[in-house]
Structure 1
Amino acid sequence: MACRISELVIDAADPGRLAAFWSEVLGYVELDREDDGSIEIGPPEAGFGGPQPTLVLSPSNAPRAGKLPLHIDVSATDRDQEAELERLLALGAGRADVGQTGAENWYVLADPEGNEFCLLHARLRPVRPGAS
């Protein structure tokens, strides 16, 4: 085995707002809060080093120049794609246009700070604590 992704760091104008959004999207909880304003969220009972990566929302006032070169893809675990789309929109996600044709089987969305992410068609089994 080589490496695993342990955490993803996202610059945020409002780390608290994004931490709340992504916690609801992923079923994560706050794990840590640093003096610099960074907030780490992750799976309950697993935390850092578990089977899923944590997210660190790091304060930044630097303007974003264009589309991010990396985005997050999510898949529903307990409902179909359409129901999950409605849940994500209700949480504050917005639809994003990155040049889709309309024939895709995924949705391109943006979090409350405009970071694009995709809701995939595939439904996945939830990760259970203690799984590796």
Structure 2
Amino acid sequence: MACRISELVLDCRDPERLAAFWCEILGFQVLGREDGAVEIGPEEGFGGLQPTLVFSPSDEPKREKLRLHIDVNPTDRDQAAELERLLAAGAVPADVGQKGDEQWHVLADPEGNEFCLLRRRL
């Protein structure tokens, strides 16, 4: 028997703010709150195919590039339209040493955590 990823935990200064941002980006909803942490996930809740995201309060500042980052791809529009939506939601372009010919966009959430916007998969 194998394991599956059930949740990803991200330390952050403002769990409510990041939860709201990622709920908008992913179409998730808040599933629970405990000890200042906020867990979000798909409408069907826990145990589905997608892992939930837990935003855990931390006073430690982000100092370096994350060793793990999230990749997203649009499900109902092209990459350019999705980029506009993400920027309007509060994402900002991030420079992690791209060369300029990549087929993805590197962005950062409101706390500076990098993530990539890939092309739409058919």
Give the TM-score normalised by the residue count of structure 1: 0.89
Amino acid at match of 2:17: R
Matched, 1:38 2:31: no
Contact 2:11–2:58 at 8 Å: present in 1 too? yes
Deviation, structure 1 residue 48: 1.4
Unaligned runs of 5+ in 1: 125-132
Give the TM-score normalised by the residue count of structure 2: 0.96
Deviation, structure 1 residue 24: 0.2
Indicate which of 110, 113, 116 corresponds to 1:112. 110
Contact 1:9–1:55 at 8 Å: present in 2 too? yes
Q: Deviations over 1:58-96 (max 9, x none)?
A: 000012221110100000000000000000000000000
Instruction: Name the SS of the counterpart of 1:25 in structure 2.
Output: helix
Which residue in 1 is equivalent to 2:14? Answer: 14
Aligned-CA RMSD value: 1.0
Q: Deviations over 1:5-62 (max 9, x none)?
A: 110001110000000000000000000011x100000001x21111101000000001
Indicate which of 49, 52, 73 corresponds to 2:50. 52
Q: Distance in 2 between matches of 1:72 and 1:81?
A: 16
Q: Distance in 2 between matches of 1:10 and 1:27?
A: 18
The count of aligned residue pairs is: 122
Instruction: Name the SS of the counterpart of 1:4 in structure 2.
Output: coil
Amino acid at match of 2:18: L
Q: Distance in 1 between matches of 2:15 and 2:7?
A: 15
Which residue in 2 is equivalent to 1:127? Answer: none
Which residue in 2 is equivalent to 1:29? Answer: 29
Contact 2:77–2:120 at 8 Å: present in 1 too? no
Deviation, structure 1 residue 4: 1.0
Unaligned runs of 5+ in 2: none
Q: Distance in 1 between matches of 2:41 and 2:111?
A: 19
